[in-house]
Amino acid sequence: MVKIMTYDVLIVGGGPAGLTAGIYAARAGLKTLLVEKGLVGGQIAFTDNIENYPGFESINGMELAKKMFEQAKKQGMEYQQGTVEKINDGLEKEVIVDGKSIKTKTVIFSVGSNPRKLGVPGEADYEGKGIHYCALCDGVMYKDKVVAIIGGGDAAIKESLYLSNLAKKVYVVHRRDELRAEKSNQKRAFAKKNIEFIWDSIVTKFVGEQFLTKLILNNVKTNKETELEVDGSFTYVGYLPATSWINVEKDKRGYIKTDHKMSTSVKGIFACGDCTDKDIAQIATSVGEGAIAGTSVAEYIEELK
C-alpha cells in the first residue's frame, strides 16, 4: 500500500508570496509543503537587478529568491518540484501532484502570472526563434546584435537597460508617447546612446524565415506602416494570472478574489501574490500577502480543532 503524505498546508507556487507564506506557516508549527513546477523564485528569478525591495539597495533577483528559499527551508518548510494537476475539495483536501495523492488541511495558491502575448501574425511561429519574454534568460544570444523591446512599463525599461549592455542596438517600441516605468529607470534609459525609442507604435506582425528578421509596425496616430529589422524581440506588455485551472471565485481577468485574510471563496483555500486581484504587483506586496496567508492558515487550522 502506498502511503499518502499528509500536511497542514500545501503551497502551490514558489515565488516571493509562496516562499513568505511558507516561512510564516512553518514558524507557526504547521507541517508545510511547497510545490513548484518551475524555478523557485518565480518572476524575480529572471530579474537581473532589484532596487526597490526594502533592505537591499540593489540585489540580483536569483540571489534574493535563493535567500528566501533557504530561509523557508530552515524554518521547516518542505519542498517538492512537480505539477499540481487537480485539487479535490473537502474538509481535508486531496491534491494530485504528478499523479500522486497528497492530503492537506489547507491550500495556498501563489501561482503568479505568465507574460501576456500580442496575439499578432507570426508570434507563435517565432517564439524561441527570435521572440522572447525574458532578457536575463535569452539576452546573451544577442551580444552585439539588434533587438527590440516591446512595452513601456517597468519590466520593459529595466530589460532594455540590461540588453543595452549586450546588444549593439536596442529599440523600445511603445504604443504611447511617454513611458509608465519608474522615473529613475526612464532617466537611465534616455541617457543610453544605444537605446532608441519608437513612440506611438504597435507591432502588427512578426516576419522572418527560419528565424525572426523584422517587425511590422503601425503608428497609431498617423496609421503609417514601417518595417524594423531586428535580430530578436522581447515582449513586456503585462501578465495574465496562471489561474485558469483553479476552481475559486475570480474576477473577469482571471485574478483570484480574496478577503483581508487572503481567504478565497472556498473554505480552507487561500491565495496570495500576483495571482490575486490587486492594484499593485510588486515583490513587497507579494511578500505582505504571503505573510498574511501564512498566518491565516494557522488561525484557520486552530479553529478546526
Whether residue 189 sits in one domain with residue 52: no
Question: Using an 8 Å Cβ cutoff, are 88 and 94 in contact?
Answer: yes
Domain boundary among 213, 235, 257: 235
Percent of the chain with pLDDT over 90: 88
Residue 236 confidence (pLDDT) = 96
pLDDT in tens, 238-253: 989 999 999 999 999 9
Question: Using an 8 Å Cβ cutoff, are 38 and 62 in contact?
Answer: no
Least confident of 29-33, 112-116, 212-216: 112-116
Alpha carbon distance 81, 79 (integer Å): 7
Q: Helix, strand or coil for residue 102?
A: strand
- Residue 304 burial (CB count, 10 A): 12
Question: Using an 8 Å Cβ cutoff, are 171 and 196 in contact?
Answer: yes
DSSP 75: T
Torsion sign, CA atoms 284, 286, 291, 292:
positive
Average pLDDT of the chain, as a whole number: 95
Whether residue 30 sits in one domain with residue 137: no
pLDDT in tens, 153-180: 999 999 999 999 999 999 999 999 999 9
Whether residue 265 sits in one domain with residue 131: no
Whether residue 297 sits in one domain with residue 228: no
Alpha carbon distance 125, 109 (integer Å): 32
Which residues neighbour 186 within 8 Å (Cβ) at sequence distance 6 or greater? 157, 179
- The maximal CA–CA distance of the chain, rounded, in angstroms, is 70
Whether residue 94 sits in one domain with residue 158: no
Whether residue 262 sits in one domain with residue 231: no
Domain boundary among 235, 251, 275: 235
Least confident of 36-50, 70-84, 108-122, 137-151: 36-50
Residue 90 confidence (pLDDT) = 86
pTM of whole model > 0.75?
A: yes
Using the predicted structure, report yes or no on whether residue 280 has a pLDDT greater than 90: no
Using the predicted structure, report yes or no on whether residue 142 has a pLDDT greater than 60: yes
Strand 169-173 with 146-150, pairing: parallel
Report residue 30: phi and psi, to 5°: -90, 140
Alpha carbon distance 23, 108 (integer Å): 13
CATH number of the structural domain spanning residue 179: 3.50.50.60
Residue 2 confidence (pLDDT) = 57
Q: How many domains does the chain have?
A: 2
Using the predicted structure, report yes or no on whether residue 1 has a pLDDT greater than 70: no
Mean pLDDT of 11-35: 98
Domain boundary among 235, 266, 286: 235
pLDDT in tens, 49-91: 888 899 999 999 999 999 999 999 999 999 999 999 999 988 8
Q: Which triple of cell numbers denotes residue 170?
A: 536596442
Using the predicted structure, report yes or no on whether residue 46 has a pLDDT greater than 90: no
3-state secondary structure 236-274: CCCEEECCCCCCCCECCCCCECCCCCCECCCCCEEECCC
Whether residue 164 sits in one domain with residue 89: no
Q: Which triple of cell numbers denotes residue 200?
A: 506611438
Whether residue 256 sits in one domain with residue 185: no
Whether residue 159 sits in one domain with residue 69: no
Domain interval for residue 81: 5-114+239-304
Mean pLDDT of 202-218: 97
